[in-house]
Amino acid sequence: MTKKGKIFVAGHKGLVGSALVKNLKSKGYSNLITRTRKELDLSDNKAVGLFFETEKPEWVFLAAAKVGGIVANNKYRADFLYENLMIQSNVIHHSYLCGVKKLMFLGSTCIYPKKCPQPMKEDYLLTDILEYTNEPYAIAKIAGIKLCESYNLQYGTNFISVMPTNLYGPNDNFDLEKSHVLPALIRKMYLGKALENDNWSAVRKDLKRLPLGGIHEFSTPTDLKNILKDYGIFMSPDNKVRIEIWGSGKPMREFIWSEDMADACTFIMEKVDFSDTYPKKAAQIRNTHINIGTGKDISIRNLALKIKNVIGFEGELFFNPNKPDGTMKKLTDPSKLNRMGWIHSVELDEGIVKIHNWYKSLN
């Protein structure tokens, strides 16, 4: 990439996209093109085509996607499959038509099989069945990988796919129905701590900014308690707070700070081409995507305990085994990226403090 070249960051408002924009600006890339969803619906093929013809971006980061946690993925299966297929197909196809020099497609490690060998290497893609709860989203992301590979092989494009592990950081989604586990735990325990301190002002501010149910600023404490109860935050008459966490707490998960992920993406766009992503004498070219991760994981139970300690929440954590666990272990093998010259810098303990401080600053 060149410092003044036109770079389109699709999905710049989200966790991934906002981290990319921050990283690119910090490295001197000044000609960034962004569009909100209202300004450009990426699922609209005609609108995407007109945008590319008018703006003519030279480099593209495809970070736009419909995303969510295990609840949303399982509940809105058709939406996750359809919308993601449309977004990525339109952007990738029009990047080809308009001669984009390089595109990066951002996926997710949910592409790997439910019973994938650990740690997950790029070569394990499509070797077994997927986890049921997020199968539609995973299929969409696999299609994106294959679309990039196929355009490269047929048309000589330079489209690269990266698969970040679970992300967390500034501008994460803290919606308690649709968020991933780490931001959900941060928000639940933040609210739990406020309840312990009888700090209804903090509760009202939080729920006003990110509404749950029928909350409004004049809701009574009883109404607020009932709303929070629906989302797994319980308060007893003696002010003891209990927080419900889905599943047994045993699943192992890997997390990477979103700004580390963004740095990896910029590094790859600057230094890696499609031809660098597969063995030179390969009879068949596949699995050219690149994992972005730390190679370290933690159980959901221990993650919850770390967050509890950072926030200072003193109540009870209740792990509900009647709710789904999802895949029991998802650990990436980032050695392909490490060999290319990049490694993460923010460890989980530091990251939890950083995201808690960021979330507090919003209230």
Q: Is 278 helix (H, G, I), strand (E, B) or coil?
A: coil
Q: Measured between alpha carbons, how far is 309 from 304 in angstroms, rounded to an integer?
A: 9
Owner of token pair 């200072």: 312
Residue of 244, 263, 256 whose CA lies nearest to 304:
244
Peptide bond into 119 cis (omega under 30): yes
Q: Measured between alpha carbons, how far is 140 from 19 in angstroms, rounded to an integer?
A: 23
Residue 198 and residue 235 in contact, taking contact as beta carbons nearer than 8 Å: no
**Known catalytic membership, residue 112:** no
- Give the contacts of 101 (CB within 8 A, at least 6 positions apart): 58, 59, 158
Q: Measured between alpha carbons, how far is 56 from 47 in angstroms, rounded to an integer?
A: 14
Q: Measured between alpha carbons, how far is 64 from 342 in angstroms, rounded to an integer?
A: 24
Determine the residue type at 317. L
Q: Measured between alpha carbons, how far is 143 from 339 in angstroms, rounded to an integer?
A: 26
Q: Measured between alpha carbons, how far is 281 from 76 in angstroms, rounded to an integer?
A: 42
Point out the catalytic residue in the list 137, 151, 168, 359.
137
Report, as residue numbers or ranges, the catalytic residues.
Answer: 137
